[in-house]
């Protein structure tokens, strides 16, 4: 039986009700499991606590209670280690959370028995180099997207994009978002990008509020390396990872975005229809 590591988004399970339910079920089925130290303490089972770092190192399956945002963070950490994740949905319907609360009991049994498939999802990586960086900044894994925007409030950024064969596009605007197929339904969609089958081997490059009116969303092979820089060398920018982590980009820096060597692994416990998820989300968003 795999050792289970449990992550909890406290904002979504404020009183730890669902976490306790999960813990009870795992105990009942005599599973090995651990939670973050603070959560274990709050549940008064400190012997099941482990530092975050340790959880990633010592568990064979991760269960994450929260919404898509929670899963994004766990996925970026779990991917380089190669541990699969099962997302338990505590919010509105999500693209990455697989399990509904009502199914906890059944699901725990399935996971412990190894009755699941593992879906591999492509991730993105970024490497930032520049005259003021003795060492490049490396982002190993982004699940949904990498976004590059102006750093200051001055309105327009002029961006140069290159790919394997040279110049890709050049435009003025608020910035550019490069999404994995999984991320096509995230910020990329708001910026005008298409909805992409999550298993298609590609990246989606979409200008954000381009003033260069002909600029369009582009779907590239995942084997491209996309280099991004400001046309004006004195311009600082901002790099955001999954909309959650931000990094300063110094004048003269170049950001190289490519497929990550790591993949996110998600437990699949049942057949899933991506397009039905999309329809439901679009519906939800239209309200």
What residues are designated binding site for NAD(+)? 68-69, 144-145, 155, 174, 185-190, 244
Catalytic residue among 13, 24, 68, 103: 68
* Candidate list 104, 189, 230, 237; residue touching its own copies; CB under 8 A: 189
Distances (CA, A) of 51 to 37, 81, 234: 6, 16, 42
Interface map 95-134 toward its own copies (x if CB under 8 A): ----------------------------------------
Contact between 269 and 110 under an 8 Å Cβ cutoff? The reply is: yes
Beta strands 175-179 and 49-50: pairing type? Answer: unpaired
68 in catalytic set: yes
Q: Which of residues 202-241 bind its own copies (CB under 8 A)?
A: 202, 204, 208-214, 216-221, 224, 238, 240
Q: Count interface residues toward its own copies (CB under 8 A).
A: 57
Q: Taking a C-beta distance cutoff of 8 angstroms, is the pair 43, 89 a contact?
A: no
Cβ pair 255, 148 in contact under 8 A: yes
Of the pair 14, 214, the CB lying nearest its own copies is at 214
- Can you tell me the distance from the alpha carbon of 40 to that of 192, in angstroms, rounded to the nearest whole number? 43
Q: Report if residue 280 touches its own copies, rule: CB under 8 A.
A: no
Q: Does 282 bind its own copies (CB under 8 A)?
A: yes
How many CA atoms are closer than 13 Å to the CA of 236, on its beta-carbon side? 9
Site for its own copies in 130-159 (CB under 8 A): 153-156
Q: Which is nearer to its own copies, 27 or 152 (CB)?
A: 152
Residue 19 or residue 188: which is nearer to its own copies going by CB? 188
Q: Report the SS3 class of residue 108.
A: helix
Based on the shown chain and the rule CB under 8 A, indicate whether residue 11 belongs to the binding site for its own copies: no
User: HSE-up of 65 (CA within 13 Å, CB side)?
Assistant: 25
Interface with its own copies (CB under 8 A), residue from 43, 93, 168, 256: 168
Which span (108-116, 127-135, 172-180, 257-265) binds its own copies, by CB under 8 A? 172-180
Six token digits for residue 75: 């996925």
Q: Is 201 in the site for its own copies (CB under 8 A)?
A: yes
Closest residue by Cα to residue 119 from 172, 67, 181: 181
Cβ atoms < 10 Å from Cβ of 132: 8
Q: At what angle do helices 17-28 and 104-112 cross, to 10 degrees?
A: 40
Q: What residues make contact with its own copies under the rule CB under 8 A?
A: 153-156, 163, 165-169, 172-174, 184, 187, 189-191, 193-197, 199-202, 204, 208-214, 216-221, 224, 238, 240, 243-244, 246, 273-276, 279, 282-283, 285-287
């Amino acid at each position: 039986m795999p050792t289970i590591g449990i992550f909890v988004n406290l904002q979504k399970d404020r009183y730890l009700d669902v976490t306790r339910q999960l813990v009870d079920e795992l105990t009942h089925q005599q599973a090995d499991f651990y939670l973050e130290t603070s959560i274990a303490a709050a549940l008064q089972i400190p012997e099941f606590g482990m530092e975050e770092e340790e959880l990633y190192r010592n568990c064979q399956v991760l269960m994450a209670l929260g919404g898509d945002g929670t899963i994004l963070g766990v996925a970026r950490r779990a991917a380089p280690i190669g541990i699969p994740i099962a997302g338990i949905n505590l919010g509105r319907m999500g693209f990455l959370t697989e399990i509904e609360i009502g199914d906890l009991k059944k699901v725990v049994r399935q996971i412990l028995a190894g009755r699941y498939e593992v879906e591999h999802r492509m991730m993105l990586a970024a490497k930032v180099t520049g005259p003021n960086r003795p060492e490049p900044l490396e982002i190993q894994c982004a699940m949904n997207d990498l976004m590059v925007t102006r750093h200051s409030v001055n309105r327009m950024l002029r961006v140069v994009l290159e790919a394997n064969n040279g110049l890709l596009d050049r435009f003025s605007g608020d910035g550019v978002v490069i999404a994995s197929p999984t991320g096509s339904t995230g910020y990329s969609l708001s910026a005008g990008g298409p909805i992409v089958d999550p298993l298609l081997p590609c990246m989606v490059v979409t200008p954000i509020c381009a003033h260069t009116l002909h600029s369009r969303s582009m779907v590239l092979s995942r084997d491209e390396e996309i280099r991004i820089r400001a046309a004006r060398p004195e311009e600082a920018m901002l790099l955001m990872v999954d909309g959650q982590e931000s990094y300063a980009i110094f004048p003269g820096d170049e950001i190289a975005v490519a497929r990550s060597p790591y993949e996110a692994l998600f437990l699949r416990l049942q057949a899933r229809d991506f397009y039905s998820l999309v329809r439901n989300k679009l519906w939800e968003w239209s309200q």
